[in-house]
Amino acid sequence: LSLSLLLSLFLSSLSLSLSLSPSWDSINEMDQFFQPIHTYQVCNVMTANQNNWLRTSWIQRHGAHRVYAEIRFTLRDCNSMPGVSGTCKETFNLYYLQSDRDLGSTTRESQFVKIDTIAADESFTNVDLGVRRLKLNTEVRGVGPLTKRGFYLAFQDIGACIAVVSVRVYYKKCPAMVRNLAAFSEAVTGADSSSLVEVRGECVVHSEERDTPKMYCSAEGEWLVPIGKCVCSAGYEERKDACSGKTPVGEDGLGCTNRAAREKSLPSQSST
């Protein structure tokens, strides 16, 4: 498995990379280790029918058919706040929009496609705030299939008290490797979670096809189902995924003639 990073927003000095509605605030604060962190927060929990959007910059996909979005965030427990039982939410929605170019500020909510509703495994309370305990959640979602040059991610708040700490976007690849004397180049995974990408191998130097070498790159970035192989050409032998010339009889492991040994084995001749 090999990962290629498309976007890493740890939200420090990245205010220009995100487009936000007036309800989202860019805030610098300290984590539980008293280290500075930069977050985007919204907490309009006392008013119903919230619809607050936070959008990333345009992300080029660089040949990826499917990407993964890793979101780190905190979310407050609605039960820890009085008077919000009918309006407070504990989820937010994740969306994406594909485009062949950067659309700037012209994107509209209706253009985005919903990926999923995100909930927190752990929410924080007043007690956590008092002791500076940061209950950080990490969620990963697949995005695709992708067919255009790039895309945006967007977060829709519907009435939660949430802080987005970081966003990381990446795609998976099968790494380059040699198998059965065939070299397979790096391959990007397919468009969905069950797809297999067929890759044909090239025989290494001084080898030839016995059967056409193929492997399949899985959605998880792992090589599967090796088919066919290459064999070393005449006069060569396999050594560590390569074909090397055979060592002639009478030569040592370095390929040099051991003359001293041969001379000792010859009978001595007296001059006449």
Cis peptide before 248 (omega within 30 of 0): no
Residue 249 lies in a domain: no
DSSP, collapsed to helix, strand or coil, labels residue 24 as: coil
Residue 92 belongs to domain with CATH number: 2.60.120.260
For residue 171, what pLDDT is reported?
A: 92
* Whether residue 178 is found in the same domain as residue 78: no
- C-alpha span between 220 and 196 (Å, rounded): 10
For residue 234, what pLDDT is reported?
A: 94
* Whether residue 28 is found in the same domain as residue 93: yes
Sheet bearing 202-203, strands edge to edge: 177-179, 182-184, 202-203
For residue 131, what pLDDT is reported?
A: 58
Of 202, 269, 249, 256, which is closest to residue 230 (Cα–Cα)?
202
Q: What is the pLDDT of residues 41-66, one digit of tens each?
A: 999 999 999 999 999 889 999 999 99
DSSP letter (8 states) at residue 136: -
Residue 257 lies in a domain: no
Half-sphere exposure (CA, 13 Å, Cβ side) for 73? 28
101 pLDDT tier (thresholds 50, 70, 90): very high
* Whether residue 163 is found in the same domain as residue 30: yes
Tell me the sheet residues that pair with 30. 36
Residue 150 lies in a domain: yes
Residue 261 lies in a domain: no
* Whether residue 134 is found in the same domain as residue 179: no
DSSP, collapsed to helix, strand or coil, labels residue 41 as: strand
Residue-range definition of the domain harbouring residue 187: 173-244
For residue 136, what pLDDT is reported?
A: 86
